[in-house]
Structure 1
Amino acid sequence: MNTNSNLNYTQTGDYLLPNLTLNQPRKPLGKYGRLRRTYLKEQRPVLYHTMLLNGSLYPHLMEVEQTAENRMQQTMAQLLKQNPVPDKEQNQMAWVQHMNSLKAQAEELVLNELIYS
């Protein structure tokens, strides 16, 4: 059944319910997309629901995911240039510790700039 609007409706008992579909992403969200979704849902519920209803939530989350991944790679490269890594063959533990430290710094920047803003 179709009414004056552009929506199609289905008769369910005494009610007409709109046939709504959500634009789901073709690929699943990564870490940063899920973090952004959780942030919006918990801290900005009005924005979250508005984006969900107008179909812009999942494209936004996918864009945040891609931007965050690219930013992580760029930041890691820049940090590695500024802070050279110890020789991995001679001191593996120092290398691992150094890389984990740089990754934590890069991730903190990404989270503050892209996810929790």
Structure 2
Amino acid sequence: MAKTIFEELGGKYERQGDYLIPCLTVPAEEEQPIGTWGQRHLDYLKQYRKVTYTNLLTSGRLNTYLADIDRQAQERFERLIESMKQAQGITERLKEENALEWVQHLNNIRACARETVNKEIIYN
């Protein structure tokens, strides 16, 4: 019996009843921690970009991709917070003088930065 392309590439079959089922495995990939941003992007891929999710998963690059997205999003988030704090004049002096107002401004800045990162990186 002639070898199939799958067998020529080193693949093997397993007999189950009257059928030969190919033994498929996903390539091993280095486990990297995935934070909140990466988890959000993973949920987005699973729900709205199923082909991209499947391609990344079967090629063994999903974890690396999500870790990279997480790193990019976190860096962008931190840069946005710093630039917004400078633009609005939020300083440590305000924190000393009126802590409640400082917290209100900082929470507002974080919410704006989170929305921007979600729009630019996570849900894009």
TM-score range, shorter chain: 0.7 to 0.9
Change in Cα spacing, 1:48 to 1:70, as seen in structure 2 (3 Å) is same
- The structure where helix makes up a greater share of residues is 2
In structure 2, runs of 5+ residues without a counterpart are: 1-5
Query: Displacement of 1:109 after TM fit?
Result: 0.8
Q: CA RMSD in A?
A: 2.1
Residues 37 and 122, structure 2, Cα contact 8 Å, conserved in 1 = yes
Deviation at 1:10, TM superposition (A): 5.8
Equivalent residue for 1:95?
Answer: 102
**Residue 18 of structure 2 is aligned to residue 11 of structure 1:** no
55 and 25 in structure 1: CA distance in 2 versus 1, 3 angstrom threshold: same
Q: Which runs of 5+ in 1 are unaligned?
A: none
Q: Which runs of 4+ in 1 moved over 6 A?
A: none
Indicate conservation of the 8 Å contact 1:51/1:57, yes or no.
yes
Cα distance in 1, alignment partners of residues 103 and 117 from structure 2: 21
Q: Give the secondary-structure state (helix, strand or coil) at the position aligned to 1:3.
A: helix
- Note if contact 1:23-1:58 (Cα within 8 Å) is conserved in structure 2: no
Q: How many residues end up aligned between the 2 structures?
A: 115
Identity of aligned residues (%): 26
| Bigger radius of gyration among the two | 2
Kindly indicate whether the alpha-carbon contact (under 8 Å) linking 1:85 and 1:95 is maintained by their aligned counterparts in 2: yes
